[in-house]
Structure 1
Amino acid sequence: MMAALRRRDFLFGSSLLLASPFFMRAARAASPRIISLDYGLAQTLIEFGTPPVGLIDTPGWYDWVMEPPLPPGIANVGSNYEINMEMLQLLQPDLIISTPYLEWIRPQLETIAPVKSFPIHAVGSSPYPHIIAATLELGQIVGQPQQAQALIDRTERDLLAAKAATRRLAEQKLAIMTFMDARNIRVYGPGGIFQDVLDRLELQNAWTRRTNEWGFSDAGLADLIGIGDSRIFYMDPVPADVLAGLAGSPLWQAMPFVQKGHAQRMASVLMFGALPSVSRFARLLAEVKV
């Protein structure tokens, strides 16, 4: 009886994959064996309680993602630049989930298992609706539609709580950035989840220059002079040589936001993340001491 119910739920949520071997194998299993080539999609599966069996760059999870904790036993399948095809074959996945960023390798991946690509980031608009759609679809694929909706609802509550807690930040504009090296930076704006969160919290972004389809601008350190004494957050991980040099950098020390004490370091948040990253960023903003 329970097996039949699981099979019915799987069929409902995976109509696009019915003609593939994925359907045949997943119908025989409580949950399909999934390899994720994207951190954000993996975050979502972990929140459902159905973590992937394989994931790209597992050692980098705690440099870039942080939340949720990475469960033990997930195999490392290489990096975005060099997927370990032998490991993928050994894991015998029912499905490989990815993003359009890796479409160039799709023909090779499809020799191992069906591939489902989720267009979330670099779509030229807010990623939030695409994150919601991917969350719901993943919930159907793994037979956890209620968990998917619960994750969406929880994120909405997190945003509402953070909105109430960040009223003191609404008094000035904010900028979110990361250091690439001592001279080059990445500043975030429209088209990314950081801007989505700022919008939902009704906070103003101090960075008004055009951003690319990924939601950031590549800039030089000197370009920050344009944000005046706005509050700026520079995210981890910060290269060690950069952090050591900030105190002695005449350019950095001359910035109005530094002189006003408005520059703060912030823990890492995955810029290309899914709902767990949205909640994490909102919470970190809510915890800022002004």
Structure 2
Amino acid sequence: MAALCRRDFLFGSTAALASLVSARPGRAAGPRVVSLDYGLAQTLIEFGTPPAGLVDTQGWYDWVMEPPLPPGIANVGSSYEINMEMLQLLQPDLIISTPYLEWIRPQLEKIAPVKSFPIHALGSSPYPHIVRATQELGQLVGRPQQAQDLIDRTERDLQAAKKATRRLAEQKLAIITFLDARNLRVYGPGGIFQDVLDRLELQNAWTKRTNEWGFGDAGLADLISIGDNRVFYMDPVPPDVLAGLAGSPLWQAMPFVQKGHAQRMASVLMFGALPSVSRFARLLAEVKV
């Protein structure tokens, strides 16, 4: 079994790892999983198999929103500082993570087998990687049909949103997040927001380069290039930013503001999985023009 475990760590064989975690004695049906990533946790919850532990449970309703976080999930610290003692107490059969936390993998492997899912920051559209991770995770936790159901449901959500957003197709759209009163992120190729815009056949108003995570850092003055196209600024917005926008000459001078084309949007997890894809598509479909 040790050889099997090591081989899976090195080569990521989903079938081998599924066999390993399901073979642990004294467990109920399905492995006991701890998720170190919100997007993977979203997926488990949609399967009906929520994780036993999750990073930063307090931040779920600031950044993720959907699906609702079931009660009783243990907080295992933050993505910057995993609580190894809590992990050990939870006695997981499996820890799921992303390459972002690969640097602590040797410590995690002392507690339980680890499966890392490369989804974001790959320099390409994350959507096919999210679908593949959904399928693999479904196999690992014994929910392959629920995984396929989630994939199919997301496709239906995108198709429904495509019909409902035809009125938005008359303008280009920009999606931004305020970091503070002067600095922000603008989203483009390489992230799920662009994936959804593409699937809905909507055009992105931001044409400048974005990084492998799908966003570009910008200053408030850079938004002048958006012209009078539509801008969505996404929650959570720092309180001082909201208070300052109304009195900001620079913000008020933006053509999209003068045209009434700036709108606040509820939070969507930019590094999320299929539930975030559906949520973002639905929020666009609900926009009042």
Instruction: Normalising by structure 1, report the TM-score.
Output: 0.93
Q: 1:231 to 1:29 in 2, by over 3 A?
A: same
Tell me, in whole angstroms, the C-alpha distance in 1 between the residues paired with 2:240 and 2:129: 37
Tell me, in whole angstroms, the C-alpha distance in 2 between the residues paired with 1:149 and 1:23: 21
Q: Report deviation, 1:25.
A: 1.2
Which residue is 1:271 aligned to? 270
Matched residue SS, 2:95 = strand
- Alpha carbons 2:15, 2:140 under 8 Å: kept: no
Q: Report deviation, 1:35.
A: 0.3
Tell me, in whole angstroms, the C-alpha distance in 1 between the residues paired with 2:117 and 2:48: 20
Which residue is 1:215 aligned to? 214
- Alpha carbons 2:22, 2:30 under 8 Å: kept: no
Which residue is 2:157 aligned to? 158
- Alpha carbons 1:37, 1:96 under 8 Å: kept: yes
Q: Report deviation, 1:15.
A: 1.9
Which residue is 1:177 aligned to? 176
Q: Report deviation, 1:17.
A: 1.7
Tell me, in whole angstroms, the C-alpha distance in 2 between the residues paired with 1:87 and 1:159: 38
| Residue type of the alignment partner of 2:178 | F
Tell me, in whole angstroms, the C-alpha distance in 1 between the residues paired with 2:135 and 2:71: 25
Which residue is 1:72 aligned to? 71
Q: Report deviation, 1:116.
A: 0.3
Q: 1:131 to 1:27 in 2, by over 3 A?
A: farther
- Alpha carbons 2:174, 2:186 under 8 Å: kept: yes
Tell me, in whole angstroms, the C-alpha distance in 2 between the residues paired with 1:160 and 1:71: 29
The alignment yields a C-alpha RMSD, in angstroms, of 1.3
Q: Report deviation, 1:16.
A: 3.0
Q: 1:227 to 1:27 in 2, by over 3 A?
A: farther
Q: Report deviation, 1:23.
A: 4.4
- Alpha carbons 2:42, 2:66 under 8 Å: kept: yes
Query: Equivalent residues in 2 for 1:49-68 (5 A)?
Result: 49-68=48-67
- Alpha carbons 1:26, 1:32 under 8 Å: kept: no
1:125 is aligned to 2:139: no
Could you list the per-position Cα deviations for residues 62-113 of structure 1 after superposition, in whole angstroms to 9, with x for gaps in the alignment? Answer: 0000000000000000001110000000000000000000001101111111
Q: Identity over aligned residues, as a percent?
A: 86
- Alpha carbons 2:205, 2:226 under 8 Å: kept: yes
Matched residue SS, 1:232 = strand
Q: Return 5+ residue gaps in structure 1 as ranges.
A: 1-12
Tell me, in whole angstroms, the C-alpha distance in 1 between the residues paired with 2:215 and 2:73: 31
Matched residue SS, 2:23 = helix
- Alpha carbons 1:44, 1:135 under 8 Å: kept: yes
Matched residue SS, 1:25 = coil
Q: Report deviation, 1:251.
A: 0.5
Q: 1:162 to 1:278 in 2, by over 3 A?
A: same
Tell me, in whole angstroms, the C-alpha distance in 1 between the residues paired with 2:236 and 2:72: 25
Tell me, in whole angstroms, the C-alpha distance in 2 between the residues paired with 1:148 and 1:230: 37
Could you list the per-position Cα deviations for residues 143-182 of structure 1 after superposition, in whole angstroms to 9, with x for gaps in the alignment? Answer: 1111000000000000000000000000000000000000
Tell me, in whole angstroms, the C-alpha distance in 2 between the residues paired with 1:115 and 1:250: 51
Q: Return 5+ residue gaps in structure 2 as ranges.
A: 1-12
Could you list the per-position Cα deviations for residues 28-74 of structure 1 after superposition, in whole angstroms to 9, with x for gaps in the alignment? Answer: 53010000000000000000000000000000000000000000000
Q: Report deviation, 1:200.
A: 0.2
| Residue type of the alignment partner of 1:16 | A
Which residue is 2:9 aligned to? none
Tell me, in whole angstroms, the C-alpha distance in 1 between the residues paired with 2:22 and 2:122: 29
